[in-house]
Amino acid sequence: MSVRPPIAMLAELTHRCPLSCPYCSNPLELARIDAELDTDTWSRVFREAAELGVLQLHLSGGEPASRRDLTELVRAAREAGLYTNLITSGIGLTERRLRELDEAGLDHIQLSLQGTDAAMADRIGGYKGGYDRKMQVAGWIGEIGFPLTLNAVLHRQNLHQLPRALEMAVEMGARRIEVATVQFHGWALMNRDALMPTREQAREADRIVTEARQGLKGTLVIDYVPADYHSDYPKRCMGGWGTTGLNVAPDGLVLPCHAAQTIPHLTFDNVRDRPLAEIWYEGAAFNAYRGTEWMAEPCRSCERKLKDFGGCRCQAMAVVGDAAATDPVCVKSPHHGALQVQAEAFAKGSEDALTWRAAPKRAAEPAE
């Protein structure tokens, strides 16, 4: 197949994070602070990304505001010609810092929402006072006039708050909300019991989103990731492996998706050793599941194979133990029935059995 350049790059600037969300999708083994790429290296990577054809840069983590040099990094990305989006919990951002980011050219902010009230948000984020802080940050974002997307991760414990999350997005003047039902990768996998939505919740969320898309047309765009364990077809993960986007981890490893390190036989190149374009076009990990040649049945002869590219490789790895298997979410997968039974069982688990994200190993938290 002919390989096109990526459109988007996710730069995971750090794995440090003040929150401890139990659905964190970062790897179990976090990159340490002393392994993080420095300002100059990130700036070079941004230039290489722009030359490669990347248009949008998502600055993420962990919590990207934990990087003291965030403003400098935004400036470097804008100078490289990239559209910059900051994905943040808001913790670590002050009004002054936001104004500096605005001055440096930050184009857009994506603010995460752990719950629509302090009790839920602070419990899920494992950070007391986090919700109030976030609301303050949302106010500054509005005053400065950053285009805003709200990002709500929903699961069994907070799905009833979906209508309020939509209202809040409108109240905050957000142009878009991402309603993402929790995906079970990384740390989240050990919390399936406590977080798996019920089938009824999943259907209700589908209904609410469908109605809201009609009712809020022209006011709010709703991106929706449904509860895939309760679905019949998988999502087109990452827009298709190695087709649309790439992730750079805090230590410089270049990954086809954020969970790719859960596939044990893959090896990843590092931006410290190899130019980004070479990694994208020639890297072994990117070519492992590109296109359709790697597919076995039932995907190989399926009419949907160019639509979903067989679903999510990391989910196939996590559930079936084979990254080249059909995503078990798919009705055509021999594991689909078992997954549905599992989902029903997980959905009856105890909500108290939450394991919060272990505190990232770090030498010191930078002060504002």
- Chain contacts with ligand SF4 (rule: CB under 6 A): 233-234, 298-299, 302, 304-305, 308, 310-311, 326-327, 330, 332
First to last CA, the chain: 48
User: Which stretch of DSSP H or E encloses residue 299?
Assistant: none
Could you tell which of ligand SF4, ligand FES, none binds residue 305, using a CB distance below 5 to 8 A set by kind?
Answer: ligand SF4
Distances (CA, A) of 66 to 21, 35, 52, 109: 16, 15, 28, 16
CB-CB contact of 91 with 127 (8 Å): yes
Taking CB within 5 to 8 Å according to partner kind, which of ligand SF4, ligand FES, none is near residue 310?
ligand SF4
Closest approach of ligand FES to the CB of residue 260, in Å: 5
Structural tokens at position 21: 């969300």
- Comparing CB distances to ligand FES, the nearer of 260 and 354 is 260
Of 188 and 299, nearer to ligand SF4 (C-beta) is 299
* Nearer Cβ to ligand SF4 (7/302): 302
Rounded to a whole number of angstroms, the minimum distance from the CB of residue 367 to ligand FES is 34
Identity of the residue, 9 or 330, whose beta carbon is nearer to ligand SF4 in the bound complex = 330
Which one, 57 or 312, has the nearer CB to ligand FES? Answer: 312
Strands across the sheet containing 245-248: 221-225, 176-181, 148-154, 108-113, 83-88, 56-60, 8-12, 245-248, 254-255
CA distance 311 to 314: 9
Q: Which of 109/237 has CB closer to ligand FES?
A: 237
Cβ-proximal residues to 24 (8 Å cutoff; 6+ apart), any chain = 17, 186, 187, 188, 357
In angstroms, give the least distance from the CB of 153 to ligand FES: 15
Binding interface with ligand FES (CB under 6 A): 185, 237-238, 241, 257, 259-260, 312-314
Question: Hey, which residues does 151 pair with through a beta bridge?
Answer: 112, 178
Residue 312 near which of ligand FES, ligand SF4, none (CB within 5-8 Å, type-dependent): ligand FES
Q: In this structure, what token pair is assigned to residue 114?
A: 């752990």
Residue 25 CB, nearest approach to ligand FES (Å):
8
212: exposed, middle or buried (C-beta count within 10 Å: 0-12, 13-18, 19+)? Answer: buried
Q: How far is the CB of 41 from ligand FES (least distance, A)?
A: 25
**Closest approach of ligand FES to the CB of residue 240, in Å:** 9
Residue 320: closest CA among 332, 329, 308, 309: 329
What is the widest separation between alpha-carbon atoms in the chain?
56
24 burial class (0-12, 13-18, 19+ CB within 10 angstroms)?
A: buried
Least Cβ distance, residue 306 to ligand FES (angstroms): 16
The answer to whether the CB of 295 falls within 8 A of the CB of 327 is no
Minimum distance of ligand SF4 from residue 232's CB (angstroms): 9
Choose the contact partner of 185 out of ligand FES, ligand SF4, none; CB within 5 to 8 A by kind. ligand FES
Q: Which of the choices ligand FES, ligand SF4, none does residue 304 contact, using the CB cut-off of 5 to 8 A by kind? A: ligand SF4
Taking the C-alpha atoms of residue 186 and residue 184, their distance in angstroms, rounded to an integer, is: 7
Pick one of ligand SF4, ligand FES, none as the site partner of residue 330 (Cβ within 5 to 8 A by kind): ligand SF4
Q: Which is nearer to ligand FES, 236 or 357 (CB)?
A: 236
Q: Which does 199 bind (CB under 5 to 8 A by kind): ligand FES, ligand SF4, none?
A: none
Q: Which is nearer to ligand SF4, 86 or 343 (CB)?
A: 343
Is the separation of the CB atoms in 314 and 328 below 8 Å? no
Strand pairing class (221-225; 83-88): unpaired
- Residues 242 and 284 sit within 8 Å (Cβ to Cβ): no
Residues facing 247 on adjacent strands: 10, 255
Q: Which does 308 bind (CB under 5 to 8 A by kind): ligand SF4, ligand FES, none?
A: ligand SF4
